[in-house]
Amino acid sequence: MPSLGFPARCPARPWPSAERGGVGGGAGGVARPPRGSCRRSPRPLGEEAKLRRRRRGRVRRGRGLWEGGARRTSPALARATREPRGSPVPHLAIRSALLPRARLLLSPPVSASSLHPGCIHRHPSASKSERWCAGPQGASSSGPRLGLGGGTGGSMDTKRCFANRFDDYQGSLLAGQCEEAVAPLVTATIERILQELPPLGGGPEGRGAAAAASSCQWGLYGGVAGVAYMLYHVSQSPLFAGARERYLRLAKRLIDACARAEEWGEPDADTRAAFLLGGAGVYAVATLVYHALGRPDYVQPLGKFRALCAVCAPVSFLECGSDELFVGRAGYLCAALVLKQKLAQEVLTPAQIKSICQAILDSGKQYAMKKRKPFPLMYSYYGTEYLGAAHGLSSILQMLLSYHEHLKPSDQELVWQSVDFLMEQEQNCNWPPELGEAIERENELVHWCHGAPGIAYLFAKAYLVSKKPQYLDTCIRCGELTWQKGLLKKGPGICHGVAGSAYVFLLLYRLTGNSKYIYRAQRFAEFLFTEEFKAGSRVLESIYSLYEGFSGTVCFLIDLLQPNQAEFPLFSVFV
């Protein structure tokens, strides 16, 4: 059966079972995430932490999912992700018009030691020396690298990307990528994603919830909450109106399990207010799903989200860096922006918004003065001055621009000076991962997390707020580089994969109305199904992940069918 490129090798990498010494599999809990992904593992529990957890197990008595925490023995958790499988996936024949070179990805397994991610997404509780995902300087030198291929023209096959051999736009879109062809493919892919989800526990004494929390399997970036968001996103598309209720019920089961796990995680500020790696994202998606189902109790997860404002208000509430997108204040503001857009109401008070924005500004001023920077605002994450969307300056400035009306005129001027400073750091249509680096053209990062495809969103927001053409011109240059080097070898995902590159074209279409960008997004969608991509892309550690796996790719394919509403998941500039 055709599907969205699920490799046949995936079943050969089973989640560890209790019999083999793991914590996953059946009734005992949930498997730990494999090494090599961008998810971070919490540090091992010390004796004091274990004692605190045992004490909480004796004294905590929950009154319900949103009213004080989960009970130690929770049958609801065991049922949370249990979905009847009586409906077989229909046999689908991809019509000849759809993605002419579509193929299943059947490449052989790749050793985890050979993987060299281009971004660092570390859980705040990890020690500074722990790096599962190393960037261009932190990558391990052991293990084979993907070699150079034989590219032609201006875009050559490199270690990080495939050569783009597609002809550019000639005045007409591809004929086959229509609703009738793509929708069945999306449906089949969703069913496969649901099959690949790890079990979320339900063992005796509620160990499944604790294991889920300890392995960070519940977050938006690489966990089950990201799948819940994908199902919510699909349910909101008119193209899938017939499956809306089913997808929302599935999303509720998943996000309820994530909320249980969040309640049983370590009560550290590290993750409580984190957007993509912690509680803020879980509560935000729970609010969206409950609201879409018409449930009045959506205000309960929303209340939990609002309460986290006090956690991230102190200027230095995280030792690793308090302002970036994944775990910091920018992420919290981003989640609030998503809720504002989807609920059509502001979820934070003006005083709360001003408090968070002021903390971001004060933090950036203090760091810039301490490091004697010649520009007004700068930030670091684990001691590194990142520039990109994942952990860097660009997404922090993007969130400040999203709430510019809450800033004082003098602070607005500091933000615009910083935006212009970042624009000056451009090197051949791209930006280095961190400040002061020189880009190595043969090995440059062209990812959403690090590089032009993510920084483009800052300049898109700057253009929408100011209407100054230089910001739009910068976005367009980002798009040109992405067209040349955006067919990435790191998989189909949105963080550092092909779908994330293609979202830049959908962004540019909404900014310019130029159909060329829809065509380019179509070509990148087509490439996901080619034998070249199958043979040269890396093995997926998390099939279902929103940011690295196929959940994000499903979001992209749906947005490709409705480009006038398309936006990078949970990262909109049109609010």
Q: Which two tokens stand for residue 54?
A: 């045992």
Q: What is the DSSP string of 286-352?
A: HHHHHHHTT-GGGHHHHHHHHHTHHHH-STT--TT-SSSTTTSHHHHHHHHHHHHHHHTS--S-HHH
Q: Enter the tokens of residue 552.
A: 């994000």
How open is the CA angle 116-571-273, to the nearest 5 degrees? 85
| Residue 291 assigned to a binding site | no
Which of 347-375 are b and which e, b meaning 16 or more Cβ less than 10 Å from the residue's Cβ? bbeeebbebbbbbbbebbbebbeeeebeb
Instruction: Name the residue among 348, 365, 260, 266 with its Cα closest to residue 312.
Output: 348
Contact 236, 569 (CB under 8 A): no
Distance CA 58, CA 505 (A): 53
Q: Is 495 annotated as a binding residue?
A: yes
CA 563, CA 507: separation in Å to the nearest integer?
Answer: 9
What residues contact residue 137 under an 8 Å CB cut-off, 6+ apart? Answer: none
- Closest listed residue to residue 64, CA positions, set 309, 301, 224, 268: 301
| Cβ neighbours of residue 281 closer than 8 Å, sequence gap 6 or more | 219, 220, 225, 274, 275, 331, 335, 570
506 with 559: CB under 8 angstroms?
yes
C-alpha–C-alpha distance, residues 459 and 478, integer Å: 10
* Separation between Cα atoms, residue 76 and residue 64, nearest integer Å: 10
Three-class SS of residue 460? Answer: helix
DSSP 243-257: GHHHHHHHHHHHHHH
3-state secondary structure of 447: coil
β-strand partners of 155: 152
DSSP-assigned states of every residue in 74-119: -HHHHHHT-----SPPPP----TTS-TT-----PPP--GGG---SS
Give me the amino acid identity at 324: E
What span, in angstroms and rounded, lies between the C-alpha atoms of 257 and 79?
9
Tokens of 373: 């920077």
357 labelled ligand-binding: no
CA distance 465 to 415: 12
Annotated binding site: which residue ranges?
449, 495-496
Annotated binding site for Zn(2+): which residue ranges?
449, 495-496
